[in-house]
Amino acid sequence: MILDKEKILEQIIMGYRNVIEERYQYHKLKQHYNFPETIDEDVIHHIKNYFLTYVYPNIEQRKELNEAFSSLDNFIKHPEKLFNLMVDSMSLLFSHGRHLPKIFNAGLKAMKSFRGATKFENNLVKKAIKTKVNPPYNIHKINSLIRLLPYKDIEEFMANTETFFNIIYDKILVEKIKEIIEYLINKMKKKPTIFSKKEIIGLELALTTISKGEELLNQLNEEDQEILISSILKIEKDNLEMIFKK
């Protein structure tokens, strides 16, 4: 059976969502990780849903978000378009001063980090095509494809995950990032001949993803937030080690 790239991507998306669904089962994780009572089944359920809604959305959502993803990727590659719009703001310059570029870069890092998930999926698609591994992609097949990836791709994926959670954990920084993104969105809406609707939707998507991640962490106290983030990173790292040991 020979399928085109888009069909394989759809099947990879479905397969990797199943991997996330399986990986974040509280009763299984509880056997291997020492969660405090405050990080209960409900918290893990919310983490899993966050991944499945904002980081690895389903096929229907992807179709709606493809243009937004594309415009966001373009901003990440060519940030000067946003930066030039931002430095025109006296209010931002007054409130953040010389720290403004640093905050802007942190926002770009957050966007790049959660977009790293799509890059990871696309790398799996390339391996599936190259090795002629056809769908459906169950957990075993997904893990086999991951094992074929260059380890630098795995390290980049892990670094992106860590960067994103570390940024949204920093309450002061994330509020500044949200302020800048909201400013950019409002400014872009006033320049419809320069900025397209899909570009605006791209930034709105970034704002929602960052805001929902922050909301998720804010349900816990500071100590439990640290435990949750370190646990997520350890779960992902342990899973990769298990894959590569097989």
Q: Are 112 and 215 in contact (CB under 8 A)?
A: no
Q: Summarize pLDDT for 188-201 with one digit per residue, the tens.
A: 999 999 888 888 98
**What would the two tokens of residue 125 be?**
């698609």
Q: Summarize pLDDT for 132-191 with one digit per residue, the tens.
A: 999 999 999 999 999 999 988 888 888 888 999 999 999 999 999 999 899 899 999 999
State residue 90's pLDDT score. 65
> How wide is the angle at C-alpha 188 spanned by C-alphas 187 and 191, nearest 5°?
100
Cβ count within 10 A of residue 99: 12
Residue 225 pLDDT > 60, yes or no? yes
**How many residues can be counted in the chain?**
246
Q: Give the residue-averaged pLDDT of 204-217.
A: 92
State residue 111's pLDDT score. 82
Residue 246 pLDDT > 70, yes or no? no
Helix ranges, the chain (H) = 5-23, 26-32, 41-50, 59-77, 80-86, 90-96, 100-131, 139-147, 151-169, 171-189, 197-218, 222-245
Q: Are 35 and 227 in contact (CB under 8 A)?
A: yes
Look up residue 99 and give its DSSP letter: G
CB-based contacts of 181: which residues, under 8 Å, 6+ apart?
107, 203, 206, 207, 210
Burial tier of 29 (Cβ tally within 10 Å: 0-12, 13-18, 19+): middle
Confidence of residue 81 (pLDDT cuts 50, 70, 90): confident
Choose among 164, 44, 159: nearest CA to 114: 164
